[in-house]
Amino acid sequence: MSKKLVIHSAWCKGCGICAAFCPKNALEIVKSKVHLKDDALCIKCGLCELRCPDYAIYVEKEEE
Amino acid sequence: MPSKLIENTMRVNRLPHIWCPGCGHGILMRDVAQAIDNIGLDPDKVVIVSGIGCSSRAAGYMNYNTLHTTHGRAIAFATGVKLANPELTVIVITGDGDATAIGGNHLIHACRRNIDLTVVVFNNNIYGMTGGQYSPTTPHMEKGTTAPYGNIDYNFDIPKLAESAGATYTARGTAYHAQQMTKLIENGIRHHGFSLIEGLSVCPTYYGRKNKKGSTIDMYNWQKDNCIDVKKAANMSAEELEGKIIIGEMSVADKPEYTDMYMKIIEKCGGNK
C-alpha cells in the first residue's frame, strides 16, 4: 500500500499550522495556500491532516 | 476531493466552514468525527446537539442527526432526546459561554443526574461570534472587548466544575494535542454516564489579538509548551505547575445512569407493557 499527500486547495485558508508543525518542513504557504515543497521531503506522517482546521490536507492510502 | 473521513462524517456541500483561519474549532470537530468513526457507531444512531456560538456551528457541518438549539440549552434538548430514545448516542457540542454561562444551570443539573450524554466544550476563552466579550473561562486579568483593562473575574475550571456537580467522566484536551483529544472523546462516548470533555481551542481573531498572544502558530506553540499531561503533573511540584494547564483524563467514576433508573421506575409502575 502506498501513501499520497493530497491538498484540497479550495478549502485552505492559509493559516500555516500544517507548515509550522510539519516534522520535515516539507510544506510552505504561498499566496495564502499550502504547497508541498518537494514530495521527497514528505514522510506521509499525517500530522498536517490531524491539525488542519479546514480539512484541506490529508494523506491518502492507495491500494495497489 | 476531501478525505474519506470528512466525506463520511461531514456535510461536504456545507464546507469550508465559517470559522476563521487558524481557529481550533475545525480541529476539535474533526476529533469528534474521528472518535465516532473509531468506535464504528451507526450514523443513524448518533445525535449531535449544539447551542449557539462559534462552536455550535458544528451541528450544521456534521452529517448525523443534528439539532441546533437555543443559546445555552443544548444540554436540555439533549436530555430530552436521550430520555425519549435511550438507544441513541447523544453528543453535545457547545462553547465555553454556551455551556458555563448561559447554560450553566443546565450543565450542572445534567452532571448531577449522570445522564448518558457526552458533552464536548470547545473552549476558546472568549465569546467569538459576538465580537470578543469576556466569558467565564477568560483567564483572570486577560482582556476582552468588555474588559479592556483586564478581566477581574476568575475563570472556571470546567472539568472540576463538572466533576463536583456529579459528572462521572471528565477530561481536558487541546486542539494542538489532536490525537489525545480524539481518544478522550472516544472514552467519553464509551463511558455510560455523563461525560464532559473540555477541548481547549485557539481563537486568533479575538482572544489572541486582544491579548497580544502573537501569531496563530504562537498560540498553538503555547498549548504545546504549557499543557502538561495529568500523569506527568502528578510528579511535579506546585511551583513547576504554576501557569501550566493540566490535560488528560481527570476523573472516572461508576454510578447508576439516569435513563436506566428512569426505565426501572417505568417498569415498576407497570409501563411499557
For residue B152, give the CATH number of its domain.
Answer: 3.40.50.970
Q: Do B15 and A6 touch (CB under 8 A)?
A: no
Q: How far apart are CA B199 and CA B122, in angstroms?
A: 5
Instruction: Specify the DSSP element, H or E, that contains B250.
Output: strand B245-252
Residue-range definition of the domain harbouring residue B258: 4-268
With contact defined as beta carbons under 8 Å apart, do B120 and B197 qualify? yes
Low-confidence ranges of chain B (pLDDT < 50): none
> What CATH number did the domain enclosing A47 receive?
3.30.70.20
Report whether pLDDT(A1) > 90.
Answer: no
pLDDT digits (tens, 9 = 90+) for A7-54: 999 999 999 999 999 999 999 999 999 999 999 999 999 999 999 999
**Is B22 near chain A, with CB under 8 Å?**
yes
Residue-range definition of the domain harbouring residue A16: 2-62
Q: How far apart are CA B199 and CA A51, in angstroms?
A: 14
- Domain count across chain B: 1
pLDDT digits (tens, 9 = 90+) for B171-189: 999 999 999 999 999 999 9
The secondary structure of residue A10, as a DSSP letter, is G
The residue type found at B218 is D
Nearest by CB to A55, from B15, B20, B21: name it.
Answer: B15
Nearest by CB to B3, from A21, A51, A58: name it.
Answer: A58
Strand, coil or helix: what is B104?
A: helix
CA angle centred on B55, ends B53 and B59, rounded to 5°: 100
Task: Count Cβ atoms within 10 A of the Cβ of residue B194 and give its class: 0-12 exposed, 13-18 middle, 19 or more buried.
Answer: buried
ipTM of the complex: 0.96
Q: What integer pLDDT is reported at residue B272 of this predicted model? A: 63
Residue B273 lies in a domain: no
Residue B37 lies in a domain: yes
- Domain count across chain A: 1
Report whether pLDDT(A63) > 80.
Answer: no
Q: Which residues of A touch B221 (CB under 8 A)?
A: 20
Q: Which residues of A touch B5 (CB under 8 A)?
A: 58
